[in-house]
Amino acid sequence: MELYFIRHVQTAVAAGTCYGQLDVPLMEGYEAVHDQIVAGLPRTDIIYTSPLQRCQLLAARLSENYIVDARLKELNFGEWEGMKWDEIDRTLMDHWGEHYMLSGPPGGESLLDLVNRLRAFLSELPSYNKIAIITHAGIIRAARHLLENKLLHEIMSEKITYGGIYTFNLL
C-alpha cells in the first residue's frame, strides 16, 4: 500500500498568525498550484481529507468522491487560534514549548493527542493500493513518526512544504 500525504497549499493568513484548526482561506492563485499537485500525484484508489477548506478544495480538485475525516485536522491551538504569535503570553508559550508533547495550549491539544488521532485513522484504513491523504504539516510529521519510526522531537523542526507530497510505502 502506498500512502500519499499531501499538505495543503499556502494560506492567505497574515504572517505570524497562529492557526491550526482555524478554517482559513487559501492564497490567491491557489488553483495553479493545485494543478501542479494533480500533475505530480499518481492515480489513487481513494482520497481522504481534513474537513478544513484549505484541504477540501484540493480534494475536490482531485475527485468529486473524497472522504472527510476530522482526525486529519492540524493541531488544535485552542484559545490561541487566530491570535498573533507575539500577542500570546510569553510565559504560557514557554511552558507549552517545553511540554508540547504532553501538554497543549489552553483549550488545545498536545502533540501526542494529534499523534493518537492519526494512529486511530491509520488503523481503520481499508486495503487499497494507493491512498491520497490531504492534510496539514503536523499530521505529516506525525505520519513520519508512526510510519518511519522517526523520533517526534527530531521531526518537529523539519520543513513540510506547502503543496508537498510525502509518500509512505507500507508492505
- For the domain that residue 23 is a member of, what is the CATH number? 3.40.50.1240
Distance linking the first and last C-alpha atoms of the chain: 6
- Average pLDDT in the 55-67 region? 96
**Cβ proximity of 80 and 54 under 8 Å:** no
The tens digit of pLDDT for each residue in 96-151 reads 999 999 999 999 999 999 999 999 999 999 989 999 999 999 999 999 999 999 99
CB neighbour list of residue 144: distance below 8 Å, 6 or more residues apart: 150, 155, 158, 166
Number of structural domains (the chain) is 1
- What pLDDT is stored for residue 3 in this prediction? 98
| % of residues, the chain, pLDDT over 90 | 94
Range of the domain at 149: 2-169
pLDDT surpassing 90 at residue 73: yes
- What pLDDT is stored for residue 155 in this prediction? 87
Q: What is the pTM of this model?
A: 0.95
Distances in Å between the Cα of 33 and the Cα atoms of 3, 28, 38 are: 21, 10, 9
